[in-house]
C-alpha cells in the first residue's frame, strides 16, 4: 500500500480534509501531520514535517495545503530531495509528475475550489514519471 503524507496550515485545513477522503477512497494510507483545526498556525512547520518524513522514507509522496500554496511550496523545496509543485490545473499536475517527478503536490485552499483540487490530485496521482531526458534534468536539480 502506498503511503501519502498530508499537511496544512489553518487556511488549508478544510481542503486537506477533502483531499484525505479522496486518498483513502483510493486505498492509500494517509498520514496527517497536522494541523488539526482552523486556528492560526505556521505553515513552515508542517511543510518541514512532511519534507523530513518524506526524505526519511516514511512515505512516497506528500500533499501540502496552505492559503495560496506559495508558502508551503517555498518551504518544502528547501529540503534536498523534495520536488514540491504548486499546481493550479490538471495540466500542471500531470506535467509536474511526468517531467519533474514531483513528490509533493501543493495546493492553495483559498484559491482552488474543492472540485478542481480533487481533479488536480487525481491527475497528479495517476501520472507516472516519464524518465529518459527528464530523469537527467531531475538528477541535475537534486544535485544542486
Catalytic residue among 66, 87, 92, 134: 66
C-alpha cell at 32: 496527517
What gap in Å lies between CA 129 and CA 135, rounded to an integer?
8
CA quadruple 119, 137, 141, 70: dihedral, nearest 10? -30
Q: Which residues pair with 106 in a beta bridge?
A: 64, 86
Catalytic residue among 10, 35, 87, 99: 99
Question: Does 66 participate in catalysis according to the annotation?
Answer: yes
C-alpha cell at 12: 488549508
C-alpha cell at 55: 526524505
Question: Does 99 participate in catalysis according to the annotation?
Answer: yes
Q: What is the CA radius of gyration of the chain?
A: 14
Question: Catalytic positions, please?
Answer: 66, 99
Amino acid at each position: 500500500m502506498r503511503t501519502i503524507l498530508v499537511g496544512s496550515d489553518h487556511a488549508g485545513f478544510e481542503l486537506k480534509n477533502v483531499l484525505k477522503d479522496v486518498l483513502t477512497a483510493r486505498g492509500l494510507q494517509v498520514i496527517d501531520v497536522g494541523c488539526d483545526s482552523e486556528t492560526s498556525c505556521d505553515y513552515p512547520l508542517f511543510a518541514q514535517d512532511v519534507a523530513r518524513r518524506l526524505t526519511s522514507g516514511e512515505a512516497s509522496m506528500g500533499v501540502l495545503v496552505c492559503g495560496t500554496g506559495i508558502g508551503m511550496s517555498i518551504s518544502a523545496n528547501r529540503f534536498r530531495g523534495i520536488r514540491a509543485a504548486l499546481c493550479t490545473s490538471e495540466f500542471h499536475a500531470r506535467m509536474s509528475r511526468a517531467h519533474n517527478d514531483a513528490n509533493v503536490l501543493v495546493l492553495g485552499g483559498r484559491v482552488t475550489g474543492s472540485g478542481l483540487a480533487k481533479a488536480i490530485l487525481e491527475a497528479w496521482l495517476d501520472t507516472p514519471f516519464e524518465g529518459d531526458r527528464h530523469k537527467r534534468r531531475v538528477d541535475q536539480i537534486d544535485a544542486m
